[in-house]
Amino acid sequence: MCIFCKIINKEIPSNIELENDDFLAFHDINPKAPVHILAIPKLHVDSFNEVTPQMMSGMTAFIQEVAKKVGIDKSGYRVITNIGENGGQEVGHLHFHIIGGAKLKWGHFSDSDPKNMF
């Protein structure tokens, strides 16, 4: 069982922001911005490559609800999912990073020359 499934089952504590029958949102333990929340489906799905359109429809509404609840829906935020090892996915359970609460930069790509990336 993956770490996110253990969080869903309340075997590992987390700082839950919002929960419904299908999804769970909790604060990232290593935040990259003033607001950094992870939104996950309660049904284990390995990554975005395996998600169904029906699940994404529900996830979209859930992420929008989280953003509104934490007060970043008007100021702006970023939604990120990493897919696979080269995409930076560290936990094999579909999750979306909801990041906001400050003016966001492009991060590690901000000073990169695309010609040097390959």
Q: Is 95 a catalytic residue?
A: yes
What are the tokens at 105?
């930069």
User: SS3 sequence, the chain?
Assistant: CCHHHHHHCCCCCCCEEEECCCEEEEECCCCCCCEEEEEEECCCCCCHHHCCHHHHHHHHHHHHHHHHHCCCCCCCEEEECCCCCCCCCCCCCCCEEEEECCCCCCHHHCCCCHHHCC
Q: Which of 36, 95, 97, 108 is catalytic?
A: 95
Residues belonging to the active site: 95
